[in-house]
Structure 1
Amino acid sequence: MTQLKIDMDVYKAIEAARESFNESQNDILRRMLLRGTGAIIPPANMQQQGVTVARAERTTGDYGFLLNGQSFSFTSLKSAYRSCLLELAAQDPAFLPNLSKEETSARRIVATDPKELYKKTPHLADEFAEVLTEGWWYDTNLSQQQVESRLQTACKVADLKFGADLTLIFP
């Protein structure tokens, strides 16, 4: 194995190309590089090609969670939130469809269409909706309190006890 240093936008492009939870980053790169001509669209041209580009993450602190005794840690709230949703989805194939039925007064937690995330303000999808996993989107414009509230709802959907099965480690 060889380690590579990559920019955040390259990492985001790799993750956006993920087709399943079991796929390694090496598998994704192999598919991207060896498909057709092997050309990868440069980040500057990605939006012109209709590819959704995730905004670069800010390093904002030490965030993490414990899920069923397993510890996860991240440098941003957004990364911790996304990873927690993906971990819960990996445990139950019905999790994301069931979670998509849950909503706050103005937003859904996850949706198959980015505009469905923002019931009253669908134009926000262009700036704040990001791919969670293939076929699913999530809102990234959330405060820490909103993330905690959504993860409490996610625990109910996953039949987990918030604070016991899932514990948040936020600053």
Structure 2
Amino acid sequence: MSKRFAEAIEDLARGIGAGSFRSEAEISQGVIKRVLHELGWPVFNVQVVAPEFRIGTRKVDYALCHPAGKPSVLVEVKDLGKADGRGQKQLFEYCFHQGVPIAVLTDGREWSFFLPSGQGSYEERRFARLDFIDDDSSHAAETCERYLNFDRVKSGEARQRAERDYEAFRRQKEAASNYAAVWSRLLGGPDPLLLDLFSEEVGNETGVRPEPESAARFIRNQARAAVASQGKPKRTRTKRRKVAPVPAKVGRGDPPSFTFRGETETFKSGAEVLVAVFDKLASLDPDFCRRYSEQHRGKVRRYVAKSRDLLYPGRHRPASASHRLPGGWWLATHCSNPGKVKRIMKACEVAGLKFGRDVIVHIPVGSRQGETA
């Protein structure tokens, strides 16, 4: 992903926010063509970037073709705020007649990517969405590159990635449908790992680890309250979420791993993943450790500190329970695997990164694998 493309998206976002593109035609010429040009498409070759491409008695705004005259991607352009369900229906009718692998619906600001050959409703076939104004420009550029880069479309790589990401998103949605039942079961037990994590966090905050039965009773009460509240649903308006490409699902038996902006490394333990994430973020930003130390700490201990003694005050821990970070800071590595994931999520907040997109980690939480002694 080029820095120039991200800067072009920032420029377009400013123009969209200022109202510089007032019609579908202005969006098509000023936004869509510029994006396609940045992605390597020969925008003046009407056999490759075909405007008003005719499909039967209908026309789609752009057909991105390879070979010339054969659409690989269809792009339907709408006025700002009009890239809605009606636009999706129209776009899918084009795809049905043409058999196009990837479809894009956009109003210049919001971009939705669909796999027409997928299953279910139009919404269920959408595998990625981005917003030029709300989303980070680097993420927006990376997403467009992933599915619309000229060379990747020609080689078939864009189609393969779209199919993989759609399937991963579909599996994630299927998994999400079981969240409530699994969560209720974990709380009702409660699960030993959940109880251990809760007790550990209480100990970090207060310096006193709760009695197991007391902590378990509290968790069970929370579960009962949650179940009771489900019987009295409140009518609320939900804000539409923007969905980023979902990484391929990681198998339960796969080794711990850390993916940073597409580059993946595997490790022997969850502690090594924790160290790798903090090493990476501290090396990219000299002020990261200071900000993390100030924003995320327990009442009696630090997770990142200038002195190793502040990590486990009043407790003896071996040298392996801490790690020296760039800039002379120290990281506490002794915590449960769910605790490691939680600290990595907090690190992403401090660094201004999106957990699950810019930073992806796999640390087994079904066992204590990788926990420092």
TM-score over 0.5 for the pair: yes
Q: 1:108 maps to which residue?
A: 302
Q: 1:157 maps to which residue?
A: 350
The 10-residue stretch of structure 1 (68-77 or 105-114) with the greater mean CA deviation from structure 2: 105-114
Structure 1 residue matching 2:289: 3-state secondary structure: helix
Structure 1 residue matching 2:331: 3-state secondary structure: strand
RMSD of aligned alpha carbons? 2.0
Picking from 314, 322, 332, the partner of 1:139 is 332
The verdict on how the C-alpha distance between 1:133 and 1:91 changes in structure 2, with shifts beyond 3 A counting, is closer
Query: TM-score, normalised on structure 2?
Result: 0.27
Q: 1:93 and 1:132 mapped to 2: Cα distance?
A: 10
Q: State the shift of 1:134 in Å.
A: 5.2
Give 1:66-85 correspondences, 5 Å limit: 66-85=259-278
Q: Which amino acid in the other structure matches residue 168 of structure 1? A: V
Poorly superposed stretches of 4+, deviation over 4 Å: none
Q: 2:298 and 2:358 mapped to 1: Cα distance?
A: 23
- What per-residue deviation string (whole Å, max 9, x for no partner) do you get for residues 111-155 of structure 1? 11012123xx33335553332345111112111111001001100
Query: TM-score, normalised on structure 1?
Result: 0.57
Greater radius of gyration (CA): 2
Q: 1:7 maps to which residue?
A: none
- What per-residue deviation string (whole Å, max 9, x for no partner) do you get for residues 38-81 of structure 1? xxxxxxxxxxxxxxxxxxxxxxx711111122112101111111
Q: Which amino acid in the other structure matches residue 90 of structure 1? A: S
Indicate the structure with greater helix content. 2
Give 1:30-41 correspondences, 5 Å limit: none
Q: State the shift of 1:106 in Å.
A: 4.5
Contact 2:323 2:331 in 1 (8 A): yes
Q: 1:152 and 1:105 mapped to 2: Cα distance?
A: 20
Structure 2 residue matching 1:124: 3-state secondary structure: coil
Structure 2 residue matching 1:161: 3-state secondary structure: coil
Q: Which amino acid in the other structure matches residue 293 of structure 2? A: S
Runs of 5+ consecutive residues of structure 2 not aligned to the other structure: 1-253, 365-373
The verdict on how the C-alpha distance between 1:132 and 1:125 changes in structure 2, with shifts beyond 3 A counting, is farther
Identity, % of aligned positions = 30
Contact 1:109 1:139 in 2 (8 A): yes
Q: 1:96 and 1:69 mapped to 2: Cα distance?
A: 24
Tell me the number of residue pairs that the alignment of Structure 1 and Structure 2 aligns: 109
Q: State the shift of 1:107 in Å.
A: 3.2
The verdict on how the C-alpha distance between 1:149 and 1:105 changes in structure 2, with shifts beyond 3 A counting, is farther
Picking from 310, 315, 334, the partner of 1:123 is 315
Picking from 241, 263, 288, the partner of 1:95 is 288
The verdict on how the C-alpha distance between 1:132 and 1:92 changes in structure 2, with shifts beyond 3 A counting, is closer
Q: 1:87 and 1:130 mapped to 2: Cα distance?
A: 13
Structure 2 residue matching 1:122: 3-state secondary structure: coil
Q: 1:113 and 1:90 mapped to 2: Cα distance?
A: 19
